[in-house]
Amino acid sequence: MILSGSASQVLAAELAAELGVPLAGVEYERFPDGELLASAPEVADLNGGRAVVVASTASSDALVELLQLQDAAREWGAREVVTVLPYMGYARQDEAFEAGHPVSARAMARAISPGTDRVLTVDPHENAVCDFFEVPAEPVGAAGRLAEPLPAALADPLFLSPDDGALDIAQAVRDSYGTGEVDYFEKERLSGSEVELSPSDADVAGRDVVVTDDIIATGSTMSGAVEILQERGASRVFVTCVHPMLAADAFSKLSRAGVGAIYGTDTIERPVSEVSVAPVLAERL
Ligand code: R5P
């Protein structure tokens, strides 16, 4: 039985179909005081079976729904509760960056752990965040699937990550695509929405470039990379990421920078979520 958070319904349905298990009817309510209630009133007794709760914690509300659905699954008698975090919110806050700061990723993991027996999360910013959970937790790699929507005949393609931390994602996309060079830029983050990129000396003139990252949040990183590639005469520039957060004006920022197309997965459900991570999750469930 799959129980879905309100923001992960498309992926949850795909996953249920992939696994051939029922998708629970879940109701989402908000009370006048702002409190949420995610419930599964029509689930038949789980009778000691397994419940899989699927919820990206891309917002605080989504985290609350996830905790409620874990609890509801136990109420229905689930023997095992598996939590799937297609996108784990706060994963990028994986250390205390200043004195007095929390390790937010650890705080989230500690909140989620008591209600579950196991956690799967797709391409967290660093796999080490899985160690913050107090139950077995595993990262699931989906980057290889990002090659699927790319045009079949890219011209002398270059797969580029905007910083060295996402180089493994660029490599996975290239490996799936089958051919092309891999390179990366250097990045320094100046603030939450400003980055400074130092380009590599890769010759991009006349070539198709696929820029890959784990997440597009404000779009500053990607739009900076796209602008540099345009200035250097790249032919077409495609942007791919696992988690298309696309906060605030990120989509417009990228469009204005001259990107050819943006592709992401359904870990965060957005209009660019062309690739489903359901098959890679199903393999691990
Ligand atoms: C950071 O290291 C990540 O891999 C992403 O590059 C970053 O979080 C993207 O953020 P934004 O879209 O706000 O530049």
How is residue 125 written in tokens? 């910013």
Residue 162 Cα to ligand 1 middle (Å): 9
Please say whether the beta carbons of 232 and 204 come within 8 A.
yes
**Which atom of ligand 1 is nearest to 224's Cα?**
14
Other CB atoms within 10 Å distance of the CB of residue 81: 23
Q: Which atom of ligand 1 is nearest to the CA of 217?
A: 12
Confidence (pTM)? 0.94
Residue 181's DSSP bridge partners are 158
The pair of three-digit structure tokens given for residue 237, joined into one six-digit string = 């520039």
Task: Say yes or no: CB of residue 223 within 6 Å of ligand 1.
Answer: no
Q: Identical fold at 2-141+278-284 and 144-266?
A: yes
- Beta carbon of 168 within 6 Å of any ligand 1 atom: no
Ligand 1 binding pocket includes 213 (Cβ within 6 Å): yes
Is 218 a pocket residue for ligand 1 (Cβ < 6 Å)?
yes
Q: Whose CA is nearest to atom 2 of ligand 1?
A: 165
Pocket of ligand 1 contains residue 240 by CB under 6 Å: no
Question: 166 in ligand 1 pocket by Cβ < 6 Å?
Answer: yes
CA of 217 to the centre of ligand 1 (A): 6
| Residues linked to residue 30 through DSSP beta bridges, in sequence order | 36
Q: Which atom of ligand 1 is nearest to the CA of 214?
A: 4
Sequence-ordered list of residues with C-beta below 8 angstroms from that of 255, at least 6 positions apart, any chain? none
Domain spanning 2-141+278-284 has what CATH number? Answer: 3.40.50.2020
- Shortest-distance atom of ligand 1 to CA 245: 12
pLDDT tens readout for residues 72-131: 999 999 999 999 999 999 999 999 999 999 999 999 999 999 999 999 999 999 999 999
Q: How far is the CA of 216 from the centre of ligand 1 (A)?
A: 6
The confidence score (pLDDT) of residue 174 equals 97
Interval 227-280: pLDDT, tens: 999 999 999 999 999 999 999 999 999 999 989 899 999 999 999 999 999 999
pLDDT, residue 219, reads 94
- Catalytic residue annotation: 187
Structural domain spans, the chain? 2-141+278-284, 144-266
Q: Cβ(219) to ligand 1 under 6 A?
A: yes
* 125-172 residue pLDDT tens: 999 999 999 999 999 999 999 999 999 999 999 999 999 889 999 999
DSSP string, 51-86: EEEE---SSHHHHHHHHHHHHHHHHTT-SEEEEEES
pLDDT digits (tens, 9 = 90+) for 27-49: 999 999 999 999 999 876 788 89
Structure tokens at 276: 């489903």
Architecture of domain 144-266: 3-Layer(aba) Sandwich (3.40)
